[in-house]
Structure 1
């Protein structure tokens, strides 16, 4: 299986002056995104429930850190207010927090089904809603959500709960894009398998991908950077596939 090419990471200041909240910032895609956004000049509010990982990325990026459970509405509302105070406002949100639960429908209890939807879909909604008072006051505000290739094409057995949650994120993204325009752009990306802890034990599943490999988290972060930056100023309601060609197989 081929390895990921080295991306061009030369900072260009594409987020200079922007104040961005990133959930799931302690690890995986969220951590890669926080690192890249910091290099591009953003001030960051970092949200996660992992205090150790959160402290590490906050120290690396000089971001403001907030330990929070994104399914707890009161916690998120408090974190959003404190983040906006710390950064002097918020004009961007990246919803990167999420969980995986694998299992066929016959084996996934309703409790686990609800947990996956609560974190992935409802958590995305709660975070976005909590930051709206600040996003609506900005002229170039942006929200970017993370869906999945499973949400676009759920053709792999054992992912029903995860696919449903990510399909919901796609629909939520389009609904919010219509509702919040023209002040706030809302988009999402749809990654394939990414080289994070979530892929443990399943990395051989990329054999059907056109590019014959899984993604590096930095490759996902660059897509999030595009949709967050003014380079995507005329893009809203979109679902950007970042899946190595999985979606057309």
Structure 2
């Protein structure tokens, strides 16, 4: 299955195109799905056993008006708010009409596999949003958005918390974050396990903040691919990724594993 869009690919579309071509995801990946003639469903769907990963991609230029809060709110609305709505609508459709999913804009070619029955389906909502990396570098010194589960929507610039339009936990990845996750987690079961762990950690309510997705991934890898909650509310220390990356066991494990996507270094 190939990722195709009319015209040139945006940055986020190119990321999903590369994701489609990855050997460990190709068998479960379906891009550009429709629910009816000319009615898009989602940009990309990955189906693995009872897990369904719904991706919505948005490449939006980050405004530069001189008002940091205004810039952030505008970008958040276009890049993340719109994706959250699309993913939520796609989730509702799959749970209501799992047999009405099509590969083409004319809605003639049905999805060639049966989706999990709604009672067993576990949906993971994923937004791939690009355009904020340069502003992140300028303001925080690193290209990734921060994670802050104490806030909602666009309350704090360059931090992602609860996204109300998703009506549930929304994974928000920018280009560097998604590339790093796919580099370190190189099987479909590994990717799903990480998403499930993030959702469970958020649901417990004790994890509050991480400087970036890289630090959360470092915490996961350092704890033998788990995200343990502390006994009290906690915040991950900054630059945890760089600390873990320097550890000899981590470097040895990475050296023995073929690399297919760049990390943050």
Classify the TM-score, shorter chain. Answer: 0.3 to 0.5
Q: Name the structure, 1 or 2, with higher relative contact order (CA <8 Å, separation 6+).
A: 1
Question: Which has the larger share of helix?
Answer: 1
Q: TM-score, normalised by structure 1?
A: 0.41
Q: TM-score, normalised by structure 2?
A: 0.40
**Max Rg structure:** 2
